Structures are given as structure tokens and as C-alpha cells.
Structure 1
Amino acid sequence: METLNYRFEQGSRRLTAPPEVVGVVGSGNLEVLIEPADLNGACTIEISTAAVGFGPIWEAVMRDFHQRWLLADTRISINDMGATPAVVSLRMDQAVQTMLGDA
């Protein structure tokens, strides 16, 4: 297992809904927990993954996600079992949309 941590500043969208979990931890999938948190305007993402050595890919996917949503005061926890970047993006977008009531 590998744990990766990212912190993005200068977000503008704050989520106020209760925490949400989307996805399921299983082969080729992942679980995303998204919750509001007092982080001085930042968005933090912690990833626990079984796929060791893919840090640069995770970073690119997380940067793309942050640029799309610009979340602030949001904590995201991901438990991954080898999801592809497309599945990661899908689940993360699903989590935000659920929080916004767009799902």
C-alpha cells in the first residue's frame, strides 16, 4: 500500500452538505469520501492505493480535478484498489455532484 497526500490552495467552491461516500473498494475500483472541513480555504486529498509507484499519474489526475471544481475547505479520502485514471475522475466528479445535489 502507498499513501499519497495533496493539498490545493485558492479554491472558491465550498461544499456544505453532509459527508458523502461514493464507489466501492474492489478490484479496479475505488471509494471516495468527501466532506467539508475547516482547512483555511484549501482542499486536501489523501489516497491509499494498492497500486504502488503511480504518484505522477495520481498528481496529474488530482490537479485536473482541482482545476475543474476549485474546491475550498474540503477533505477528500480515497481508498483505491487499482482504478484507472478515468474511473478515478468519474468517482471524484460523482462525489462532488452528489454533494451539490446534481447526482
Structure 2
Amino acid sequence: MESLSYTYKTTQPITKKVHVGVVGSGDLEILLFPTKKAETSVKICTGSDGFGDVWQNVLTRFFDRYPISADIVINDFGATPGVVYLRLTQAMEELSDEK
């Protein structure tokens, strides 16, 4: 198990909690929490060691497109970078859902 932490300067605060995905083989869960900070903190717990650079690249690409301010927790069980980006995009859809 590896724990990773990243911080990104961001400008768009979220207003509600979001939970997408599940912790299962080849998947991950993402939890977003509102914050009053002008940045996003990302804490990752992953069973796949040694992929810090890959995580950073995926997250940087995401925050370049979606500069949301939140506290994010990601619990990973071997998801590929494509699945990670898909789940992050799914979380953005949940944020914009007007239920």
C-alpha cells in the first residue's frame, strides 16, 4: 500500500459532497468534500506502489481542465489512468447534477 498527497491551486469551490466508484479490482472510489481553501488537496491510498508520477500526470491534466477547490480522498484498487480520469469526470457530472 502506498499513500500519496498532492496539492493544486484552484479557483472554483464545490458546494456539496460527492462519492463515485467503488473500491474493487481495477476500480477506485473518489470522495469530494467542500473546502474554504483556494486549493485542492488530494490524498490517495493505493495498492499499486511506484506510480506517483502517473497519478500526478492524471491529476494535473484533470485540474487544468476542472480547477475545482475541494478536499479529495481516493481509495484505489489498481485502476488504470483511464479509469481514474473517468471517475474524476463522473464526479464532475455529480457536482453539476440538479437532483
> What RMSD, in angstroms, separates the aligned Cα atoms of the two structures?
1.4
Moved more, 93-102 or 81-90: 93-102
Distance in 2 between residues matched to 1:20 and 1:3, nearest whole Å: 21
1:16 — aligned with what?
Answer: 15
1:48 — aligned with what?
Answer: 45
Number of aligned positions between the proteins = 99
Distance in 2 between residues matched to 1:35 and 1:92, nearest whole Å: 13
Q: TM-score normalized by structure 1?
A: 0.90
Amino acid across the alignment from 1:46: K
CA deviations over 1:43-82 (Å, ceiling 9, x no partner): 111100000000000010010111010112x111000000
- Counterparts of residues 1-103 of structure 1 (less than 5 Å): 1-9=1-9, 11-17=10-16, 19-39=17-37, 41-72=38-69, 74-101=70-97
Amino acid across the alignment from 1:30: L
Unmatched runs of 5 consecutive residues or more in structure 1:
none
Distance in 1 between residues matched to 2:66 and 2:41, nearest whole Å: 13
Amino acid across the alignment from 2:65: R
Distance in 2 between residues matched to 1:43 and 1:26, nearest whole Å: 25
Distance in 1 between residues matched to 2:57 and 2:29, nearest whole Å: 19
Aligned structure 1 segments of 4 or more residues deviating by more than 2 angstroms: none
Distance in 1 between residues matched to 2:39 and 2:62, nearest whole Å: 14
